[in-house]
């Protein structure tokens, strides 16, 4: 794990590996899938989601991390299985109202929540489909690809599933299908608008067996009414047939108003919008596959 305090000019690595599985787990770190600084109420707390699927918590600004053992030892864990990219804990959402409330998502185990700072965890997948399982509505085992939190209502979450786009209005107690109107409800990425409630972005993919943009068109879809309707955004994006798949962490927003929206794809292209997604410009091309993008205001 490296960090930079000078916009990437220099990098510092802790003397000891920051994220390391304790010996009793008999596991070793394959990959850090997610890094998530907690909210401003906990300025020294940073979370890391890993493969094998586990949550680590740092209380010293990311210098060292400790395994969140109750999730690692969750009674359902023996039935978690790797998704196509591995068994990764890829989503970490902290709650701006309560630093003890954390939501995570795992491929393939689904959404899990704690309300007590990580001491206990419960699945939160009611209503999220698992079309690849004999029981299409299990308590856990869903292949959730990404979850994001609404800017105005902390109880409202948006979820891009392995088939299906869902919304929860109760912090994950239950989920409602909001995929109607999309060209495909398969996809990987999801990002909420930083300020505007009921507004989120996804990038539909044709199918799990055909991982290219839906209709072979490079389009971000935006909802401005919490998933009741969806609007394709393509002004400034390539207009011909397009094959650039957007992965789960390769779509993000910044905190500006209007919001900056960014995505990269497996063609090595990066696009940006400075007006909530209404219009776009291509920033980069011919990069290696883009795996993740993150943006922030600087001044």
Partner 1 sequence: MTDVLLTVGTRKGLFIGRRRDGAWEFDGPHFNAQAIYSIAIDTRRDTPGCSSAATARTGAPRCSTPTIWVRPGSSPSNRR
Closer residue to partner 1 in complex, CB, 178/190: 190
Secondary structure (3-state) at 235: coil
Task: Quickly tell me which residue has 């109607």 as its tokens.
Answer: 180
CB 262 to partner 1: min, Å: 6
CB 191 to partner 1: min, Å: 14
Closer residue to partner 1 in complex, CB, 19/178: 19
The CB-side HSE value for 125 (13 A sphere, CA atoms) comes to 29
Closer residue to partner 1 in complex, CB, 37/232: 37
Q: For residue 192, what are the contacts with CB-CB under 8 A and spacing of at least 6?
A: 148, 149, 150, 151, 158, 199, 200, 201, 253
Q: How is residue 250 written in tokens?
A: 């390769």
* Residues belonging to the chain: 299
Q: How is residue 50 written in tokens?
A: 């890993």
CB 126 to partner 1: min, Å: 27
CB 75 to partner 1: min, Å: 28
Closer residue to partner 1 in complex, CB, 123/264: 264
Cα–Cα distances in Å, from 117 out to 45, 114, 132, 187?
12, 6, 32, 31
CB 161 to partner 1: min, Å: 15
Cα–Cα distances in Å, from 193 out to 22, 115, 149, 253, 292?
37, 25, 9, 7, 17
CB 276 to partner 1: min, Å: 12
Closer residue to partner 1 in complex, CB, 75/297: 297
Q: How far apart are CA 132 and CA 113, in angstroms?
A: 23
Contacting residues toward partner 1, per CB under 8 A:
1-8, 11, 19, 30-37, 39-40, 43, 46, 48-49, 61-62, 84-86, 188, 194-195, 247-249, 254-257, 260, 262, 264, 268, 270, 272, 274, 283-284, 287-299
Closer residue to partner 1 in complex, CB, 131/283: 283
């Amino acid at each position: 794990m490296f960090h930079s305090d000078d916009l990437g000019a220099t990098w510092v690595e802790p003397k000891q590996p920051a994220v390391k599985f304790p010996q009793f787990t008999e596991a070793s770190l394959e990959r850090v899938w997610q890094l998530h600084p907690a909210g401003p109420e906990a300025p020294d707390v940073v979370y890391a989601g890993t493969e094998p699927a586990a949550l680590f918590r740092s209380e010293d600004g990311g210098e060292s991390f400790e395994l969140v053992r109750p999730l690692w030892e969750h009674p359902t864990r023996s039935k978690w299985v790797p998704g196509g990219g591995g068994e990764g804990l890829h989503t970490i959402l902290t709650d701006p109202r309560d630093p003890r409330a954390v939501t995570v998502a795992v491929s393939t185990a689904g959404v899990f929540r704690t309300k007590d700072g990580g001491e206990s965890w419960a699945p939160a997948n009611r209503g999220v489909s698992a079309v690849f399982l004999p029981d299409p509505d299990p308590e856990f085992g869903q292949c959730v690809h990404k979850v994001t939190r609404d800017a105005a209502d902390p109880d409202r979450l948006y979820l891009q599933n392995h088939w299906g786009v869902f919304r929860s209005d109760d912090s994950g107690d239950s989920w409602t299908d909001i995929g109607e109107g999309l060209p495909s409800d398969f996809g990987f990425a999801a990002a909420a608008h930083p300020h505007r409630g009921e507004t989120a972005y996804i990038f539909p993919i044709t199918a799990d067996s055909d991982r290219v943009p839906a209709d072979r068109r490079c389009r971000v879809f935006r909802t401005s009414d919490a998933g009741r309707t969806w609007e394709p955004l393509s002004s400034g994006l390539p207009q011909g047939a397009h094959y650039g798949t957007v992965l789960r962490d390769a779509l993000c927003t910044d905190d500006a108003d209007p919001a900056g929206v960014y995505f990269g794809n497996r063609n090595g292209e990066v696009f940006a919008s400075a007006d909530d997604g209404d219009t776009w410009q291509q920033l980069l091309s011919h990069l290696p596959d883009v795996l993740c993008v993150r943006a922030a205001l600087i001044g």
